[in-house]
Amino acid sequence: MPDSPVPMPSLGDHEHAVLAIDVGGTDIKIALVESDGSIIGLRRVPTKVNGEHTVATVVHTVAREAKQLAVDYPTIRPAAAGVIVPGIVDEEAGVCVYARNLDWHNEPIRAQFEAALSLPVAFGHDVRTAGDAELQLGAGTGVRDAMVVVIGTGIASAVFVNGSPVVSRGFAGEIGQNRVASTVYSAAVGDGPAAPTLEEIASAGAIARRYAEQSGEQVQGSREVLDRMLGGDPVASRVWNEATSALANCIAQAAGMIAPEVILLAGGLALAGQHLVEPIERHLDVELTIQRRPQLILAQLGGDAGLIGSALKARALAAGERTP
């Protein structure tokens, strides 16, 4: 389910203009944010994965696009840049510890971007930064204890306790790699003896793949599986039910450990709306005992939440506030 276009909100007035950069496994987004909060000059370019040269290629691509923005908007001089990346991210050290899709291992990303852009860089994790944007400007405004779960090609989350992100040197929130109990799924997953991960059962890609494996019919994506379920297809119903059951199980475990008041569902699968929320709610009826029941809500900022969050991080850095 691709992201639907979502109008970008104004970020409000600020003393400084900044540069916002969101590096993803598929594409890179870069834009200027004026001091009045307007997001302008948004550019999207493919992310070129080039083995051991991927970091240099990505940094060069961003620097090139930033120079073009400077040509297009010569009167806007950013005071800082926000750069966010996927994977396991140590924001304090400025290092991407591991990013599978980009083949990055212990890369000093912040330092390389600072050198290429000649700007101070606020560095962050894509999901945590997008989650922070949702809590400041989106569906989670005013919420202090939350878990943001992004379900797309993979699954990742960000945890916020008393308004602050739980980071743990970048390892917090990797729920997509949690093993799923065998009671949740009915068909073998993967090649090894270990139980499958949440990502292998409940990501948008997994839903499409598991339907094809069990039905013998190829589908374009999870949206088509949902449509078939709504049309009464029993295989689609089983695959969707197992995905939502697995998600509910992980949410219930989070409810027992950190007791979030809200679970924000984001990413391509969240475009299923209540067809995603309602079955998770039904499974939570069984999973939860004495835990505080979290409210499930859909994110509002869409696929550009990370870019908006990177702008907020850059603004904080430009204003002298503490930021990684």
**3-state class (DSSP) for residue 209:** helix
Residue range 143-159: mean pLDDT, rounded: 92
pLDDT at 73 over 90: yes
CA 203/CA 269 separation, integer angstroms? 8
- The residue behind tokens 């004026």 is 34
Residue range 51-78: mean pLDDT, rounded: 94
Residue range 306-323: mean pLDDT, rounded: 89
pLDDT at 319 over 60: yes
Do 85 and 125 meet the contact criterion of CB atoms below 8 Å apart? yes
CA torsion sign, 107 to 113 to 115 to 121? negative
Identify residue 225 by its one-letter amino acid code.
Answer: V
> pLDDT tens across 88-115, in order?
999 999 999 998 888 899 999 999 999 9
CA 17/CA 20 separation, integer angstroms? 10
Cα atoms in the Cβ-side hemisphere of radius 13 Å centred on 313: 29
Residue 322 pLDDT:
63
pLDDT at 22 over 60: yes
CA 10/CA 21 separation, integer angstroms? 17
Complete domains list, the chain, with CATH = 18-131+303-318 (3.30.420.40), 141-299 (3.30.420.40)
CA 43/CA 118 separation, integer angstroms? 20
Residue range 299-313: mean pLDDT, rounded: 92
Residue range 167-195: mean pLDDT, rounded: 75
The reported pTM is 0.84
CA 132/CA 279 separation, integer angstroms? 26
**3-state class (DSSP) for residue 182:** coil
Residue range 79-92: mean pLDDT, rounded: 94
pLDDT at 83 over 80: yes
Give me the percent of the chain exceeding a pLDDT of 90: 75
- Using pLDDT thresholds of 50, 70 and 90, give the confidence band for residue 168: confident
Residue 6 pLDDT:
42
Do 15 and 293 meet the contact criterion of CB atoms below 8 Å apart? no
Distances (CA, A) of 64 to 33, 69, 135: 18, 9, 32
Q: What is the mean pLDDT of the chain?
A: 90
Tell me which of 95 and 320 has the higher pLDDT: 95
Do 280 and 244 meet the contact criterion of CB atoms below 8 Å apart? yes
> pLDDT tens across 210-267, in order?
999 999 999 999 999 999 999 999 999 999 999 999 999 999 999 999 999 999 999 9
Give me the percent of the chain exceeding a pLDDT of 70: 92
pLDDT at 170 over 90: no
| DSSP per-residue codes, 53-76 | GHHHHHHHHHHHHHHHHHHHSTT-
> pLDDT tens across 3-12, in order?
444 455 667 6
